[in-house]
Amino acid sequence: QVEVVESGGGLVEPGGSLRLSCAASGSIVRIDVMGWYRQAPGKRRDMVAVILDSGSTHYPDSVKGRFTISRDSEKSAVYLQMDNLEAEDTAVYYCHARVQIPDTVALQDYWGQGTQVTVSS
């Protein structure tokens, strides 16, 4: 079994910063991609940042230049540094990991429970 756990959410004023952390643990052969998604009330879950095993990163235009994703492969961890936060960034942030588990070839998707980020004055 694989577990994905996030931490680091909270309340911050517009223009402030937060750093989210996520770690995957359990029976893991390798992690292909890790990333962050967010979901605001009444909206769909959208990609915020992803980082591939190669180190390549991808961001939507809405966060490009403000958010930075990084990865510690030895710790099966991923981080999201969020700067210059805006009210529109308010959402529940979910960590995602695409993992190969023992005795399988196909990659499987695992999600964390989510952490609330609120940007408000």
Give per-residue pLDDT as tens, 48-67. 999 999 999 999 999 999 99
Given this model, what pLDDT does residue 74 score? 85
Q: Residue 59 and residue 24: Cα distance in Å, rounded?
A: 21
For residues 35-42, average pLDDT: 96
Chain-centroid distance of CA 28 in Å reads 18
Residue 72 β-bridge partners: 77
Given this model, what pLDDT does residue 95 score? 98
pLDDT band at 89 (very low <50, low <70, confident <90, very high): very high
pLDDT in tens, 2-15: 999 999 999 999 99
Given this model, what pLDDT does residue 86 score? 97
